[in-house]
């Protein structure tokens, strides 16, 4: 099991310097990765930062973290431009970059700019976009989403990011995670990231998800959970300890 800190890209973290502070604390205290959300939150509320610009700043300020998005809604991006952004961060970070990709679930972030939100359209754009990105950049792609169609899509790529936590807390049990991992049907080369909330003393909680098939624990932070001082305090506590 590896452990990553996951931040929103809006609110406090619309300022990339705040994200860099958290990432540096994560690296200093033994976390393995740092991921950010990808929202255009300014269309429905708080300001937001471009996730790949933020990750570039983190790459320039840290040395050993795996970096990525959780997740980028590829249907509202130009895939050739995204591939260039991802490859740039990849070069800065020594090849340790993950593109988390999905359909995008916030309708306003599409229709505000004249883009359709029809699910069939988004599915087509996601698959076409992923094919183009892969032709331009060979790095890992992990798919987010829990529907049968998204699980089948994940099986064709390198990993799956479970929608296992929301603002209110954990929403997927280890047993439910295990059933979806079995549905995907991939082997040991496949990564499974479980979004969650923990303390450093929650080793048994994390163990349950590891035994269900999770290979990464994504400790998820947003302003509704903690202010940045409490985020830093939780990150500095370190990862939950358990014997595998």
In tens, the pLDDT along 170-206 reads 999 999 999 999 999 998 899 999 999 999 999 999 9
Asked whether the beta carbons of 14 and 47 are under 8 A apart, the reply is yes
Pairing of strands 191-196, 159-162: parallel
Number of domains in the chain: 1
Closest CA to 217 of 233, 232, 202, 236: 202
**DSSP character for 74?**
G
Decide if 38 is inside a domain. yes
Q: What is the mean pLDDT of residues 28-49?
A: 98
Nearest to 136, CA basis, from 68, 100, 72, 90: 90
Residue 91 lies inside a defined structural domain of this protein: yes
Residue 104: pLDDT over 80: yes
- Rounded to whole angstroms, the Cα distance separating 241 from 203 reads 5
Give this prediction's pTM: 0.97
User: What is the Cα 26 distance to its own chain's centre?
Assistant: 15
242 domain-assigned: no
Exposed, middle or buried, 72 (CB in 10 Å: 0-12/13-18/19+)? buried
Domain of residue 141: give its range.
2-237
243 occurs within a structural domain:
no
Measured CA to CA, the distance from residue 159 to residue 140 in angstroms comes to 8
The predicted structure's pLDDT at residue 162: 98
Structure tokens at 232: 């830093």
CATH number of 182's domain: 3.20.20.30
Give the pLDDT confidence score for residue 61 in this predicted structure.
Answer: 98
Q: What does pLDDT average to over the chain?
A: 97
Q: What is the pLDDT at residue 243? A: 78
Distance between CA 52 and CA 68 in Å, rounded?
8
Euclidean distance between the first and the last CA atom of the chain, given in angstroms as a whole number: 8
Residue 244 domain-assigned?
Answer: no
Query: Does 138 reside within a domain?
Result: yes
Return the pLDDT at 233.
Answer: 98
């Amino acid at each position: 099991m590896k452990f990553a800190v996951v931040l929103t890209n809006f609110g406090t973290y619309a300022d990339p310097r705040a994200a860099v502070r958290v990432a540096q604390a994560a690296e200093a205290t033994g976390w393995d990765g740092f991921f950010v959300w990808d929202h255009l939150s300014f269309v429905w509320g708080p300001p937001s930062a471009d996730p790949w610009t933020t990750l570039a700043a983190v790459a320039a300020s840290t040395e050993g973290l795996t970096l990525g998005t959780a997740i980028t809604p590829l249907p509202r991006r130009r895939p050739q431009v995204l591939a260039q952004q991802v490859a740039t961060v990849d070069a800065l970070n020594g090849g340790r970059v993950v593109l988390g990709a999905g359909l995008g679930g916030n309708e306003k972030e599409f229709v505000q700019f004249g883009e359709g939100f029809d699910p069939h359209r988004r599915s087509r754009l996601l698959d076409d976009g992923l094919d183009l990105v892969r032709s331009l950049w060979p790095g890992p792609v992990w798919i987010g989403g829990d529907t049968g169609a998204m699980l089948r899509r994940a099986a064709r790529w390198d990993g799956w990011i479970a929608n296992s936590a929301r603002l209110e807390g954990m929403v997927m049990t280890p047993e439910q995670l295990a059933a979806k991992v079995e549905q995907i049907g991939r082997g040991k080369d496949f990564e499974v990231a479980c979004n969650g909330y923990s303390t450093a003393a929650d080793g048994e909680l994390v163990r349950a998800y590891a035994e269900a098939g999770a290979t990464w624990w994504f400790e998820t932070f947003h302003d509704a959970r903690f202010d940045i001082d409490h985020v830093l305090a939780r990150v500095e506590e370190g990862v939950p300890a358990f014997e595998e």
